[in-house]
């Protein structure tokens, strides 16, 4: 059994809805299986999620991090770009974090002061 078969076994209808982008975004963001949620988010894309949910920009950082609030979804959505590849990533952060830079520092278990000292991100 391959990795993909294991994640999606007995979930054919769910996978079909995801690849056809028929699964409501809020339902997708609530998937309990983190691998399924990650795959679905990658397929939908950060911009699509932000647009379709009418996410509200909470905070923007000059290092390219944006923190969004999505109605009826508990965590905030952090959108950021990998400086080496240019690829866009998303992560979820606690709703109590309201600053994009703080959210990025939290993601990597750093204080904002430690994060500010980084000169190179990869």
Beta strands 88-93; 76-81: pairing state: antiparallel
Ordered per-residue pLDDT tens for the chain, 122 residues = 444 555 555 678 888 898 898 999 989 988 888 888 888 998 999 999 999 999 999 999 988 899 999 998 889 999 998 888 888 889 999 999 999 999 999 999 999 999 988 866 65
78 contacts 67 by C-beta, under 8 angstroms: yes
- Grouping H, G, I as helix, E, B as strand and the rest as coil, residue 25 is helix
Q: What is the C-alpha to C-alpha distance for residues 68 and 52, in angstroms, rounded to an integer?
A: 13
Euclidean distance between CA atoms 18 and 32, whole angstroms: 15
pTM assigned to the model: 0.80
* Other beta carbons less than 10 A from residue 80's beta carbon: 22
> In b/e form, how buried is each residue of 17-33, taking b as 16+ CB within 10 angstroms?
bbeeeebebeebbebee
Q: Is the alpha carbon torsion for 110, 116, 119, 121 positive or negative?
A: positive
Neighbours of 97 (CB within 10 A): 20
pLDDT at residue 108 in the model: 92
Q: Tell me, what's the pLDDT at 1?
A: 42
């Amino acid at each position: 059994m391959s990795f993909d078969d294991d994640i999606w076994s007995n979930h054919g209808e769910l996978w079909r809805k995801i690849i056809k982008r028929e699964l409501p975004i809020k339902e997708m963001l609530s998937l309990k299986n983190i691998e399924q949620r990650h795959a679905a988010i990658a397929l939908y894309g950060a911009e699509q999620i932000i647009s379709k949910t009418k996410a509200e920009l909470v905070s923007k950082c000059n290092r390219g991090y944006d923190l969004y609030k999505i109605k009826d979804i508990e965590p905030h959505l952090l959108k950021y770009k990998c400086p080496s590849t240019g690829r866009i990533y998303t992560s979820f952060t606690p709703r109590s974090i309201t600053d994009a830079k703080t959210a990025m520092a939290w993601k990597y278990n750093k204080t904002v002061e430690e994060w500010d000292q980084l000169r190179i991100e990869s």
